[in-house]
Structure 1
Amino acid sequence: TAPVTASAAAVASVPPASAPWVPIPNAEDFFFRQVANFSLLIRALVFREYLDLVHVVSGSVQAAGAGNNYSLLLRAADRTNGAVGRYQTVVWGVPGSRDWTWKVVSFQRVADKN
């Protein structure tokens, strides 16, 4: 799968980062699984590529405007053939807010470690 980034308009509406990336100590936390599943849902809606989350491998968070950027490395299974791959996604959002729309900034398949 070729790298896919969000549209220029979506990226332009994401506030600039205002802090360094900080590693997430427990990437398998329910909240980060929700962020990963959101990214997979948007991928399915836009590209009709249906992936099921296997687990969040690792991640980091970065303050950006009123919210945060979440960079997550995840493993997901293709619903068609069951193949599991590694994917990197960056999602911007404001936890707990109903006033801000979450956005997928980027999503791409990455090589498996050998």
Structure 2
Amino acid sequence: MRSPSSSSLLGAVLLAVLILAPSRAEWVPVPDVNEVVIKQVGQFAVLVYGLAHRKDMAFVAVVRGQTEDAVGGGTNYRLVVVAAKPGEEGSTTTAEYDCLVWGVPGSSSDTWKLRRFLGQNGHRRFLPFLSFVVLTIADDANGDAAPPSPLAANPAPPPPVSIPILPPPPPVDDQPSAWLPVTDVEDRTIRQVGKFAVSAYCLNTGARLAFVNVVGGQSQPYGGGARYRLVITVAAEDAGPGAAETTTTMAQYGVLVWGILGTTTWQLWYFAPNN
């Protein structure tokens, strides 16, 4: 039987822990759902959920949301997004989803995580761990020379950013499979991979780019998943000489993405101008 003195001591310790524990920051309403980072976070949530669950979904808009300074750093984004998916006979249906994303805007080395994706009809889509990391590769798995730094002498768009060099996951086999050409650049998965590359790069660098299409590419079984080496077209809006004038610039970029279809594991390894 526990003595009164030990119970009092335990109570005092618990009270001290509660007093000294850092309080959680309050959730703050998103004042502008069209703000660039807010839209990019919404796009990221829809894109990677689609890749993880083999769903053909497209981001439409952010309806409302809240942000919170996360314990340990970074920001939690609790958003309601509208996503579209193909319906019957060529129609398109839209629905609202609650999503919870954690990340650090503008950071080139931190991980972003999609923690929850929940339909407004109460059908829960919970993802305990979903992340990507932007990496450059020191040595190609085929023994090829490493590609030039994706951010060295990089013309706008996007702006130059320093990205650390981190090792890729090891291949499952000692001899990686051959690269195979992408036969259909309009394939749903191929387009989603291209969109993911743009979304990941923008979140980590603050660049304002929009995916246009996939021009060509190759894929290769690797590390229990597949690598996608694609050439994509992106668009960026540049401010013109007038206050209300903007011009759209098109450019092609080479990207390298690794992921496992049907899972929550996707990484962007390389993003550079396709010179």
Does the pair score TM above 0.5? yes
| Bigger Cα displacement from structure 2, 44-53 vs 83-92 | 44-53
> In the alignment, does 2:91 pair up with 1:84?
no
Aligned partners of 2:60 and 2:82: how far apart in 1?
5
Does the Cα contact within 8 Å between 1:86 and 1:109 map onto a contact in 2?
Answer: yes
Residue 33 (structure 1) shift = 0.8
Residue 70 (structure 1) shift = 0.2
Percent of pairs with identical residues: 37
Q: Provide the residue aligned with 2:47 in structure 1.
A: 41
Q: Provide the residue aligned with 1:58 in structure 2.
A: 64
Deviation sequence 1:53-96 (CA, Å, 0-9, x none): 12110010001122000000011111x21110010000000111
Does the Cα contact within 8 Å between 1:75 and 1:85 map onto a contact in 2?
Answer: yes
Aligned partners of 2:45 and 2:115: how far apart in 1?
9
**SS of residue matched to 1:39:** helix
> In the alignment, does 2:77 pair up with 1:70?
yes
User: Which of 83, 94, 97 is matched with 2:104 structurally?
Assistant: 94
Aligned partners of 1:35 and 1:106: how far apart in 2?
13
Counterpart AA for 1:109: G
Aligned partners of 2:25 and 2:94: how far apart in 1?
33
Larger Rg computed on CA atoms: 2
Show structure 1 runs of 5+ residues with no match. Answer: 1-16
The root-mean-square deviation of aligned C-alpha atoms, in Å, is 1.6
User: Which of 116, 119, 126 is matched with 1:106 structurally?
Assistant: 116
Residue 21 (structure 1) shift = 0.6
Counterpart AA for 2:82: R
> In the alignment, does 2:39 pair up with 1:29?
no
Residue 18 (structure 1) shift = 3.0
Counterpart AA for 1:50: D
Show structure 2 runs of 5+ residues with no match. Answer: 1-22, 122-275
Q: TM-score, normalised by structure 1?
A: 0.77
Q: TM-score, normalised by structure 2?
A: 0.33
Counterpart AA for 1:94: V
